[in-house]
């Protein structure tokens, strides 16, 4: 008895209390690193690590424990004084705060001296000083549904998973909100980077993917890798995210854009660091708020927690948060060891739910300054053949860190949710809207956008098409469609067979044939990839109609990254439904015979240069993600052949340059420069028709105050320039800054000409006697005007983007050729108002 009393007394005298826990965001469950946790009334505490976990050891306890961190409300909880060990988690509510409310400076801000040192030492600390680096990576991605209102929970689909919701509400904690996972993935990969020339490559070694509506395939496998898309560098002037350029707090404009406060010093993995808090001077700009930790000796960035709030001019987003912890390499430069980012997608309506996209990336085993040969980087993203690894035992050893209780529960829940019938229906509808096709296992039916149209030539036009997927074949791609008009009663059709020769160098051999009704100046090769605009041109009056029969065999290949070539042999038959003729022997003048149709046989050679272009593979399709900073150049040469069923020998030269670039804090611009030259005399439809726009819809690639086929050139050069100020001006007008409008401006300029020989070619001569058409059923004849070589066509535009987050309204003024008639004799419109609907962040 005496011994027991002695042991108890000893424990209370020399005991050490241990308190552990995790601090997370109450709304989304995201861990909060470097939050301060302490015992109230004592100078005893700790800071949370990158995972939001803290550990406090103390010989004495007080009544309560508290936690505080930047931009969150301070919280306290009662302690159990009898327990030697206890776990106390915190869920913190966000709170807006401006540094101006808490900081008063006398003299220069002490943070400025530190930031100048960061700038001075940027060159030796930035990863750009390395010639190459590589590392092993583990990433985890999760997509959740959050902000579940009571009304939303009453919906039929949610009632079927009420049990799962209850489990997550319990797991969220007393102060947190439940989030329902719909997708979770784990990925092991190897990432490689080479500085000069700049190349990236990520090899996906193993994947563990589970999600609602997710099908097995390379597309998802590549997206979950993470390092290609989330390799943020805060030393750069801008941090790219969701197609936006967010001003970096450590870039060159750190002083002009941000307010700074020297908060504290702390130990980050053995590095004593200054803690610097930063706040934007204008929260409507694309800027961060957060805290950066700077090493006191090397002045390198060791960790940063940066958040973009819903006040910023970004659509559909409540919050973007990036947390990054860096590790110093043997060469002195720092690489990201851990990165976590979160996108909190807002609810579209009051009674809908929001979405959360969370990703965690852990990197280790850094190897620097050992670049691979250039050919190694040809495929930016590569998925290993045996990448799928369902064995749980493998992942227990392979993970850099263990899964949380929420991760384990999420995996079980997804298995249940994705088999709910109504969920399957919603997934199929969403896939049809996104891809345009109703997908089956090996093929898809569509696209729905061109499935029907109504015009004066065809009446009601119906069209049905299909294409095969990689489940059908990983080498062969089949496409086909049938169309029919209730008025012209002509069957239209098309088919294509492609064979993938190489995925590494993306080489495709194909053959296709089609017969369809087209329009002058609105053919697919002129409109390009704007499928929505092309679909709209099939409605209405349908002027300049002609039937075209086309056959083509082509080969595309990319021998090295960023450089691709295309060769094609094509035959086309032009059969117009308007009064048309051209002189077959123009040297005979009016005595020349004429034809009202032609056959065109030609071959095409095209070279495309797109430096640093990134792309991913979606089954048998390659999806380009754009080329950053560098312009994309396309050079094309075509040669017409008269001997192979063609009516003309000719040469055609074309060039196109496109670039999108940042103009500092003024916003983002893009331009397209095009030029063409045909030294041969040809009928007007074979020259360069300039793309007009008679619809109410804005078209970036068109001249929006020009009629269809109003001008035709045999040589030309054009510029289409667009600039988006991204809220730069509207963000500073108090009355409208909450609307998040964005001022836009554009200018389109065209220099062109048409030789007299080409004009004479289209003049009257011996009339064509053609029994193919009944008198009176043809549309009127068109004029094929050329531009004055000394007078450019010019239009300027201005407008507002982001109206209600989806509308764009732009006015255009035509500044030249104000008395020029359209091909059908209509007066020009000096002013046009165009609108468009598009979703952008």
pLDDT tens for 106-133 read: 567 889 999 999 999 999 999 999 999 9
pLDDT score, position 213 = 58
Q: What is the mean pLDDT of residues 773-798?
A: 80
User: What is the mean predicted confidence (pLDDT) over 751-780?
Assistant: 76
Q: Which of 422-426, 662-666, 712-716, 734-738 has the lowest mean pLDDT?
A: 422-426
pLDDT(385) > 80: no
Residue 419 token pair: 């088999």
Please list the helix, strand and coil fractions of the chain in percent, rounded to the nearest 5, in that order. 15, 45, 40
Angle separating helix axes 405-417 and 162-172, nearest 10 degrees: 170
Distance (Å, rounded) from C-alpha 525 to C-alpha 550?
A: 12
d(CA 535, CA 214) in angstroms, rounded, equals: 29
CA 728 to chain centre: 22
CA distances to 55, 325, 602 from 29, rounded to whole Å, are 19, 19, 61
Query: Is the pLDDT reported for residue 218 higher than 50?
Result: no
313-327, 421-435, 508-522, 805-819 — which is least confidently predicted?
421-435
Q: List, in sequence order, every residue forming a beta bridge with 633; answer none if it has no partner.
A: 609, 657
What pLDDT, on a 0 to 100 scale, did the predictor assign at position 10?
44
pLDDT at 543 over 60: yes
Q: Shortest CA distance to 610 belongs to which of 681, 680, 659?
A: 659
Decide which of 653 and 526 is more confident: 653
| DSSP H or E stretch at residue 406 | helix 405-417
The total number of residues shown for the chain amounts to 841
Average pLDDT over residues 650-665: 90
Q: What is the pLDDT, as a whole number, of residue 699?
A: 86
Element containing residue 116 per DSSP (H, E)? helix 110-120
Q: Give the β-pairing of 53-58 and 64-68.
A: unpaired
User: 């989304």: which residue's tokens?
Assistant: 28
* CA dihedral sign, ordered 230, 269, 307, 118: negative
The pLDDT value given to residue 7: 45
Nearest residue to 328 via CA among 271, 399, 249:
271
Asked whether residue 603 carries a pLDDT value surpassing 90, the answer given is: yes
- In this structure, whether the domain defined by 436-837 belongs to CATH 2.40.160.50 is answered with yes
Does residue 276 contact residue 301 with C-beta atoms inside 8 Å? no
First to last CA, the chain: 72
Query: Average pLDDT, stretch 651-680?
Result: 91
Tell me the three state secondary structure of residue 605.
strand
Q: What is the mean pLDDT of residues 641-668?
A: 89
Question: Hey, is 9 helix, strand or coil?
Answer: helix
pLDDT of residue 718: 96
Three-class SS state of 540: strand
Query: How confident is the model over 468-477, as a mean pLDDT?
Result: 90
Residue 217: per-residue pLDDT: 46
Asked if residue 232 lies in contact with residue 251, where contact means CB atoms within 8 angstroms, the answer is: no
Name the burial class of residue 175, with classes exposed (0-12), middle (13-18) and buried (19+) by CB atoms within 10 angstroms of its CB: middle
| pLDDT band (50, 70, 90) for residue 348 | low
Q: What is the mean pLDDT of the chain?
A: 83
pLDDT at 386: 63
* CA proximity to 816, closest of 798, 793, 832: 793
Of 356-365, 534-543, 554-563, least confident by mean pLDDT is 534-543
DSSP type of residue 763:
S
pLDDT-derived band at 134, boundaries 50, 70, 90: very high
Cα gap 514→481, rounded to integer Å: 9
Spatial distance between the Cα atoms of 763 and 456, rounded to a whole number of angstroms = 28
pLDDT of residue 426: 62
The domain over range 2-97 is classified in CATH as 2.30.30.230: no
Which is more confidently placed, 782 or 722? 722
For residue 91, the model assigns a pLDDT of: 87
Between strands 715-724 and 742-753, the pairing is antiparallel
The pLDDT of residue 214 is above 80 = no
Average pLDDT over residues 143-168: 67
Question: Given a cut of 50, is residue 799 above it in pLDDT?
Answer: yes
Listed residue (293, 321, 325) closest to 306, CA to CA:
321
Residue 571: its pLDDT value, please?
Answer: 96
**Helix, strand, or coil here: 157?**
helix
Judged against a pLDDT cut of 80, whether residue 841 lies above it is answered with no
Half-sphere exposure of 311 (CA within 13 A, CB side): 17
pTM: 0.74
Whether 173 has a pLDDT exceeding 60, the answer reads: no
- The Cα–Cα gap between 841 and 836 comes to 15
Exposed/middle/buried for 762, CB within 10 Å: 0-12, 13-18, 19+?
Answer: buried
3-class SS of residue 397: helix
Residue 516 has pLDDT above 90, yes or no: yes
What does the alpha-carbon distance between residue 639 and residue 605 come to, in Å, rounded to a whole number?
9
- How far are the Cα atoms of 485, 720, 721, 722 from residue 704, in angstroms, in the given order? 29, 11, 13, 13
Report the Cα 175 to chain-centroid distance in Å.
Answer: 35
What is the C-alpha separation between 816 and 329, in angstroms, rounded?
Answer: 61
pLDDT at 749: 97
Mapping DSSP onto H, E and C, the string for 174-242 reads CCCCCCEEEEEEEEEEEEEEECCCCEEEEEEEEEEEEECCCCCCHHHHHHCCCCCCCCCCCCCCEEEEC
pLDDT at 775: 44
Is pLDDT of 328 > 90? yes
Q: pLDDT grade, residue 153 (50/70/90)?
A: low
% of the chain exceeding 90 in pLDDT: 33
The domains of the chain are located at 2-97, 114-429, 436-837
507 C-beta neighbours (distance < 10 Å), count: 17
Cα–Cα distance for residue pair 692/376, rounded to 1 Å: 44
Residue 312 CA to residue 287 CA, distance in Å, equals 7
Give the span between the Cα atoms of 631 and 644, in whole angstroms.
37
Whether the pLDDT of residue 826 is over 50: the answer is yes
């Amino acid at each position: 008895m005496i011994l027991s009393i002695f042991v108890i007394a000893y424990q209370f005298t020399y005991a050490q209390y241990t308190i552990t826990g995790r601090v997370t965001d109450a709304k989304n469950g995201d861990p909060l690193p470097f939050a301060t946790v302490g015992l109230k009334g004592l100078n005893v505490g700790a800071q949370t690590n990158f995972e939001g976990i803290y550990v406090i050891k103390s010989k004495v306890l007080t009544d309560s424990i508290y936690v505080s961190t930047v931009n969150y409300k301070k919280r306290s909880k009662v302690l159990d004084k009898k327990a030697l060990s206890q776990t106390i988690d915190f869920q913190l509510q966000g709170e807006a705060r401006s540094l101006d409310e808490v900081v008063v400076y006398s003299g220069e801000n002490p943070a400025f001296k530190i930031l100048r040192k960061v700038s001075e030492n940027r060159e030796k600390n930035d990863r750009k000083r390395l010639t190459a680096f590589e590392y092993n990576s583990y990433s985890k991605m999760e997509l959740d549904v959050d902000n579940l209102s009571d009304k939303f929970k009453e919906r039929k689909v949610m009632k079927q998973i009420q049990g799962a919701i209850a489990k997550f509400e319990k797991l969220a904690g007393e102060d947190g909100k439940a989030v329902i996972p719909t997708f979770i993935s784990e990925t092991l990969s190897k990432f490689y980077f080479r500085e000069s020339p700049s190349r990236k490559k990520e090899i996906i070694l193993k994947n563990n993917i589970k999600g609602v509506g997710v099908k097995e395939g390379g597309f998802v496998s590549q997206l979950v890798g993470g390092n290609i898309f989330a390799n943020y560098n805060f030393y750069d002037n801008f941090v790219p995210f969701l197609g936006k350029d967010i001003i970096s707090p450590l870039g060159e404009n750190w002083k002009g854009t941000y307010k700074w406060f020297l908060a504290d010093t702390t130990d980050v993995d053995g590095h004593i660091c200054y803690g610097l808090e930063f706040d934007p001077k204008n929260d409507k700009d694309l800027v961060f708020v957060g805290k950066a930790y700077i090493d006191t000796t090397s002045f390198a960035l060791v960790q940063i927690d940066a958040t973009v709030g819903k006040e910023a001019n970004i659509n559909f987003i409540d919050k973007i948060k990036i947390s990054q912890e860096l590790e110093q390499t043997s060469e002195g430069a720092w690489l990201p060891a851990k990165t976590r980012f979160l996108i909190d997608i807002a609810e579209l309506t009051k009674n809908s739910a929001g979405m959360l996209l969370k990703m965690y990336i852990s990197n280790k085993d850094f190897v620097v300054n050992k670049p691979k040969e250039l050919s190694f980087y040809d495929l930016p993203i590569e998925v290993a053949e045996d990448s799928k690894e369902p064995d749980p035992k493998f992942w227990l050893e392979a993970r850099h860190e263990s899964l949380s209780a929420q991760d384990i529960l999420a995996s079980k829940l997804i298995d249940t949710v994705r088999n709910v019938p109504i969920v399957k229906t919603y997934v199929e509808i969403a896939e049809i809207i996104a891809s345009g096709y109703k997908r089956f296992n090996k093929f898809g039916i569509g696209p729905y956008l061109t499935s029907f149209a109504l015009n004066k030539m065809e009446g009601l036009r119906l069209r049905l098409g299909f294409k095969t997927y990689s489940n059908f074949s990983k080498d062969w791609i089949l496409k086909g469609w049938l169309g029919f008009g209730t008025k012209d009663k002509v069957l239209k059709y098309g088919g294509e067979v492609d064979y993938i020769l190489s995925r590494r160098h993306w080489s495709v051999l194909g053959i296709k044939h089609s017969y369809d009704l087209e329009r002058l100046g609105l053919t697919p090769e002129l409109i390009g990839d704007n499928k929505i605009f092309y679909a709209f041109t099939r409605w209405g009056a349908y002027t300049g109609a002609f039937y075209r029969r086309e056959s083509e065999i082509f080969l595309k290949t990319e021998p090295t990254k960023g450089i691709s070539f295309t060769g094609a042999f094509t035959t086309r038959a032009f059969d117009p439904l308007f009064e048309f003729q051209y002189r077959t022997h123009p040297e005979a003048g009016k005595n020349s015979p004429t034809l009202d149709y032609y056959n065109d046989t030609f071959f095409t050679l095209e070279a495309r240069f797109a430096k640093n272009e990134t792309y991913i593979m979606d089954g048998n399709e390659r999806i380009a993600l754009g080329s950053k900073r560098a312009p994309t150049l396309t050079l094309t040469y075509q040669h017409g052949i008269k001997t192979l069923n063609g009516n003309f020998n000719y040469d055609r030269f074309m060039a196109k340059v496109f670039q999108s670039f940042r103009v500092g804090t003024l916003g983002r611009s893009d331009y397209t420069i095009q030029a063409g030259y045909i030294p041969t005399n040809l009928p007007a439809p074979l020259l360069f028709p300039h793309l007009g726009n008679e619809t109410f819809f804005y078209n970036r690639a068109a001249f929006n105050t020009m009629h269809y086929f109003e001008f035709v050139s045999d040589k030309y050069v054009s510029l289409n320039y667009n600039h988006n100020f991204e809220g730069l001006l509207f963000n500073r007008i108090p009355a409208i800054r909450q609307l998040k409008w964005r001022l836009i401006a554009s200018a389109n300029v065209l220099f062109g000409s048409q030789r007299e020989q080409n004009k004479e070619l289209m003049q009257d001569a011996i009339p064509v006697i053609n029994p193919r058409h009944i008198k009176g059923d043809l549309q009127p004849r068109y004029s094929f005007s050329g531009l004055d070589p000394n007078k450019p066509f010019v239009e300027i535009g201005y407008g507002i983007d982001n109206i209600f987050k989806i509308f764009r309204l732009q006015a255009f003024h035509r500044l030249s050729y104000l008395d020029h008639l359209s091909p059908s004799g209509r007066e020009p419109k000096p002013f046009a108002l165009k609108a468009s609907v598009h979703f952008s962040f």
